[in-house]
Amino acid sequence: AAGVIQSPRHLIKEKRETATLKCYPIPRHDTVYWYQQGPGQDPQFLISFYEKMQSDKGSIPDRFSAQQFSDYHSELNMSSLELGDSALYFCASSQTPERNYGYTFGSGTRLTVV
């Protein structure tokens, strides 16, 4: 079965640079969620989109932005990167109204800021 696809798998950036993470949800899933997991931490919710509109907003820094496109894939844009942005970034998807059956997570993008 198709899963949630995230790219790239790994990314190394320098401070103050920009990064773009991509997420391709499971077919027919209309909701995408972004999470940030710092070293040794639990995943923290950043932002979500339903039918290309922002549906919920969590602890996403102002330096970050995201959007969902017409094909339902989503991109997380991160600017002015800081060392503290180094983390594992997960994308998850669900099909509304079944979202409370649980989200399907991608394998994550490991971002390292040096």
- Position 25 contacts other proteins (CB under 8 A): no
Q: Pick from 2, 17, 58, 82: which binds other proteins (CB under 8 A)? A: 58
72 versus 90: smaller Cβ distance to other proteins: 90
Partnered with residue 71 across adjacent β-strands are none
d(C-alpha 81, C-alpha 102), whole Å: 31
Which tokens hold the place of 1?
Answer: 């079965």
75 and 49 in contact (C-beta within 8 Å)?
no
| SS3 at position 83 | helix
- Position 24 contacts other proteins (CB under 8 A): no
Q: 72-91: which residues touch other proteins (CB under 8 A)? A: 88, 90
Among 20, 102, 1, smallest CA distance to 65 is for 20
- Position 100 contacts other proteins (CB under 8 A): yes
11 versus 88: smaller Cβ distance to other proteins: 88
Query: Which parts of this chain interact with other proteins (CB under 8 A)?
Result: 33, 41-43, 45, 48, 56, 58, 88, 90, 92, 99-105, 107-108
